[in-house]
Amino acid sequence: MVEVEKALYAHVQSRYPYVTEAASHLLDAGGKRFRPLLVLLAAEAGPHPLAEEVLTAACVVEITHVGSLYHDDVMDEAALRRGADSANARWDNHVAILTGDFLFARSSELTAQLGPDAVRIQAETFSRLVEGQILETVPPGPGEDPLAHYLEVVAGKTGSLIATSARYGARFGGASAEVEEALTAYGEIVGSAFQLSDDILDIASDSAESGKTPGTDLREGVPTLPVLMARASSDPADARLHELLDADLSDDALHAEALGLLRAHPALDEARRYVVGRAAEAKALLSVLPEGPVRAALEAFADAVAVRSA
């Protein structure tokens, strides 16, 4: 990961200091580096985990992810990202959008070094990612299950790139086609579960524990897994909660009441069980790997996602 970090900064350099500053801004703000870490872990399933292509692929997925954050912040009109000013707040929307485009271009240049098949995979992944982002702005259609709609958003917006992270690691580490296929499916599930555990933390955690303001998504009316599960309840005792979920929760008193009701609602534990179940599905896919440190690390990776929300 130390090598990845150095390479990331090298790849976002521009001939122009202003562009370099803007492109480095969210890298400087930190982040979990979840995607490149998974590339490196998956590469350990093959005989060549230290291949140069593995490092390149790790940079591809993280630069793609960071580029998407610039666009996300414009769409969300966000003022902060990872505790720092968002690019749109520090500069403006035009700079933020174009910086995201610059990073997508850089990730494409790097992908081209990995060969035509990697270019195809990256294009398909990016298509799914953008579809997920668009779908997020559209409410479910008539007769469509809101929860199923939301899970489709999460699979596209988050799961797709994390699936490709695992695929790239396995492929460029030299793993077999069977292992690559299994780890791709593993990455898709773990990636979606990662986002869903964030949903739970938004309701369940306090700011001292998570570093985030509790109920931010709730206040902004963003549908999340516990909220959608609570909405699906037909228990008459939930009438007040349903009323609040349809209200303007920018009011501090109403927001605090809704957050309290959600924390006490069975939907929160239902959401936790769902995420733990998804992590178990992901771990079952690892049966293609022999027992040993690589499989144990990938199992621990899936468990860490589930435990975040427990």
Tens-digit pLDDT profile for residues 26-47? 888 878 899 999 999 999 999 9
Evaluate whether 224 touches 247 at the Cβ level (below 8 Å). no
The DSSP letter of residue 140 is P
Give the fold, CATH level 3, of 1-175: Farnesyl Diphosphate Synthase (1.10.600)
> What's residue 80's pLDDT?
58
Per-residue burial over 24-33, b = 16 or more CB atoms within 10 Å of its CB, e = otherwise: bbbbebeeeb
Task: Classify residue 15 by burial, with Cβ atoms within 10 Å: 0-12, 13-18, 19+.
Answer: exposed
User: Taking residues 168-186, what's their average pLDDT?
Assistant: 98
The SS3 of residue 84 is strand
Grade residue 222 by pLDDT with cuts at 50, 70 and 90: confident
User: Taking residues 90-111, what's their average pLDDT?
Assistant: 88
Grade residue 208 by pLDDT with cuts at 50, 70 and 90: very low
> What's residue 95's pLDDT?
83
User: Taking residues 97-105, what's their average pLDDT?
Assistant: 91
Tens-digit pLDDT profile for residues 48-77? 999 999 999 999 999 999 998 887 777 766
Average pLDDT across the chain, whole number = 90
* pLDDT at 274 exceeding the cut of 50: yes
CATH class of 180-309: mainly alpha
Global pTM reads 0.91
Task: Classify residue 281 by burial, with Cβ atoms within 10 Å: 0-12, 13-18, 19+.
Answer: middle
> What's residue 27's pLDDT?
81
* pLDDT at 211 exceeding the cut of 60: no
Sequence-ordered list of residues with C-beta below 8 angstroms from that of 210, at least 6 positions apart, any chain: 201
In this chain, the answer to whether the domains covering 1-175 and 180-309 adopt an identical fold is yes
User: Taking residues 227-239, what's their average pLDDT?
Assistant: 93
> What's residue 309's pLDDT?
56
> What's residue 210's pLDDT?
46
Q: In the chain, what are the domain boundaries? A: 1-175, 180-309
Q: Tokens for 170? A: 């396995």
Grade residue 177 by pLDDT with cuts at 50, 70 and 90: very high
Q: Tokens for 68? A: 């998407």
Residue from 202, 185, 175, 200 nearest 273 by CA: 200
Q: In angstroms, how far is CA 58 from the centroid of its own chain?
A: 15
Residue from 226, 166, 179, 221 nearest 198 by CA: 226
Sequence-ordered list of residues with C-beta below 8 angstroms from that of 188, at least 6 positions apart, any chain: 155, 159, 160, 162, 163
User: Taking residues 219-235, what's their average pLDDT?
Assistant: 91
Grade residue 79 by pLDDT with cuts at 50, 70 and 90: low
> What's residue 28's pLDDT?
81
Backbone angles phi and psi of 44, in degrees to 5: -70, -10
> What's residue 305's pLDDT?
85
Task: Classify residue 77 by burial, with Cβ atoms within 10 Å: 0-12, 13-18, 19+.
Answer: exposed
> What's residue 207's pLDDT?
52
Evaluate whether 78 touches 86 at the Cβ level (below 8 Å). yes
> What's residue 76's pLDDT?
66
Backbone angles phi and psi of 214, in degrees to 5: -60, 140
